[in-house]
Amino acid sequence: MKDIFSQVLTDKIASAKEAKQGKHKEKIQLKLLELQNFISTLDQKKQSIADEDSYQKYIKFLKDAIESTIEQITAPTVDDFIAWVEQLTDNRNEHYKTFRKYLISNFSDSISTKIDSVLSAKDILENENVLFSSLLSEARKAIRKDCNVFLDKPAEFENNIDGFLEKLDENLTGLVDIEELTYIKIEDLYSEEQKNNNIDFYVDIIEKFVKINQKLDAISDSEKTDTLITKMKRRIEDIEKCINQLDKTTIANSSDETVRDMFLSFKDDIVKFEKGINQNFEEFLSQKWDDIITHYDTVKAFFNNVKEITDEDAWKSFKAKDEITIIVLKYNATKKENPLASLKSKSMMSIQQTLTKKFNEINDYEEEAKKTKQAILDAFSNTVKEYTDKLDLIEKLDTDKSTFNQIKDDGIEALKNGYESLKDQDIIVYLKDDFSSDLNTYNNIKSWFNEVLQRSGMRTKIDWLEEQLQSEDSGDISEINFDADILKELLLNKLVTLTVSKTY
């Protein structure tokens, strides 16, 4: 039996003895124990030798057994590694044996180190009851594909082995280093601060983020060249960024139940995989939600302060009567229907359309309100200026100065105060609460001035002028009706100005 132990076999036995002291000492000791247990089987085989043929079978069995045991001792992790690759690829590749033979023949410290690392990290792919099990399943598919691509080209094992084992090691150890892949429930993604901020309010949205973002399909051209680990990390980071964004909105702690319900109803708009969930969410917040909440706040503020107001006869003689009539009608039409009362029962698109429609209606009203306010302010301002310019005349005509003081203090100064008050007030509030008083002041100034004119004798001259001009602010006086004395007195008292036009 001396020929059994060829030089090659002798060298392997020597190598096995050395390996007994290495990093796989326990595994090798176990293999040697198995060899000891094999002796009883060997004895049975030996007892069955009856002729040349049975002897040769015995020798072959002995040699194969020793060869196999020594292979397992000199390359102790190869069989475990090959068994894992077979299991990963569903035993569908025909080149496992070729790959095993290649590894045993070319086993080295470099190969041993990589295989050890892979075997120590491989169980990460078996985590099924974790939050990111679908993402791990995607990783498993990607790694399986790499293995099959490698196994399908046995002629290139020698050229590709280093790159294959390197990538396999990087992927598996990279997965092990991602802490979130061990998370069991959604709450594991929250910080303590977020928990205190009621982040669980958004749980339906967050669950949707987690569910939809466990795919490794490229969401951009740059991602097509990214490594498996880079994409895995980005998917998880995007979910965490979205959670941070949700927390920053503070909607969870809003006192407005409608806002909270409305935000949750938009989850299908919020969560989309295309372009990346974080980018989609940021676009939703900046391009859609900002408009929605702006429209909602505008509508809410309007209806929180609605007033009952009607057009009043007292306004009919005021210079800006037409503007006031229009704004009161427009205001009453705008406040006729509050859309917020039925907002919860509407679809997402209907919510947007309803809010936008009422927001535009309120904006139109507010633009008209600005015009009405300005028309009233202009009327007050012009009256203040007109009678301020006439104060010298009034003082001269009013002999006892009582009406002069009324016009100056209770008229002009009071109307100035009304002017300032109106500038900062809502037009409807002003019309309802303060306009009557200022309108009385406005009318009183003219009435008091007419009293002064009447007592001074200037009234008849004013009446003559009104008749000539047919109550207009300007006009022509014919030669027949021209009264130089009256016009001169009106000019001296600054009640008229005289403009001359050449006709030659």
In a domain, 38, yes or no: yes
Residue position matching structure tokens 């002897």: 55
Last residue of a domain, one of 34, 57, 76: 76
Last residue of a domain, one of 256, 274, 303: 303
Last residue of a domain, one of 303, 336, 360: 303
Instruction: Check residue 492 and give its pLDDT.
Output: 82
pLDDT tens, the chain, 504 aa long:
444 445 554 565 555 555 444 555 566 566 656 655 566 666 666 777 777 777 777 777 766 666 666 555 555 688 889 999 999 998 777 898 899 889 988 888 888 889 999 999 999 999 989 999 999 999 999 999 999 999 999 999 999 999 999 999 999 999 999 999 999 999 999 999 999 999 999 999 999 999 999 999 888 888 889 999 999 999 999 999 999 999 999 999 999 998 998 899 888 889 988 888 999 999 999 989 999 999 999 999 999 999 998 878 888 889 999 999 999 999 999 999 899 888 877 777 888 899 999 999 999 999 999 999 999 999 999 999 999 988 888 888 887 788 889 999 999 999 999 999 999 899 999 999 999 999 999 999 999 988 888 887 777 888 888 888 887 878 888 888 888 888 888 888 777 888 888 878
- Is this prediction's pTM over 0.85? no
Q: How far apart are CA 213 and CA 235, in angstroms?
A: 6
In a domain, 377, yes or no: no
Q: What are the CA-CA distances from residue 344 to residues 68, 302, 357 (Å)?
A: 74, 19, 17
Is 280:274 a contact under the CB 8 Å cutoff?
Answer: yes
For residue 420, the one-letter residue type is: E
Q: What are the CA-CA distances from residue 270 to residues 242, 421, 443 (Å)?
A: 10, 45, 59
Burial of 127 (0-12, 13-18, 19+ CB in 10 A): middle
Instruction: Check residue 243 and give its pLDDT.
Output: 97
159's tokens: 């050229």
Question: What's the structural domain count of the chain?
Answer: 2
Q: Domain containing 271: what range?
A: 186-303
Instruction: Check residue 12 and give its pLDDT.
Output: 54
In a domain, 104, yes or no: no
Is 74:15 a contact under the CB 8 Å cutoff?
Answer: yes
Instruction: Check residue 17 and give its pLDDT.
Output: 52
In a domain, 321, yes or no: no
In a domain, 252, yes or no: yes
What number of other Cβ atoms are within 10 A of residue 187's Cβ? 14
In a domain, 346, yes or no: no
Report, in angstroms and rounded to the nearest whole number, the Rg of the chain calculated over CA atoms. 48
110's tokens: 């470099």
What number of other Cβ atoms are within 10 A of residue 427's Cβ? 24
Core vs surface per residue 234-263: b (16+ CB within 10 A) or e? bbbebbebbbebbbeeebbeeeeeebbebb
233's tokens: 């990390």
In a domain, 383, yes or no: no
Sequence-distant (6+) residues with CB within 8 A of 435 are 315, 376
Sequence-distant (6+) residues with CB within 8 A of 238 are 213, 276, 277, 278
Q: What are the CA-CA distances from residue 56 to residues 43, 47, 52, 66 (Å)?
A: 15, 13, 6, 15
In a domain, 218, yes or no: yes
Cα 141 to the center of its chain, rounded Å: 32
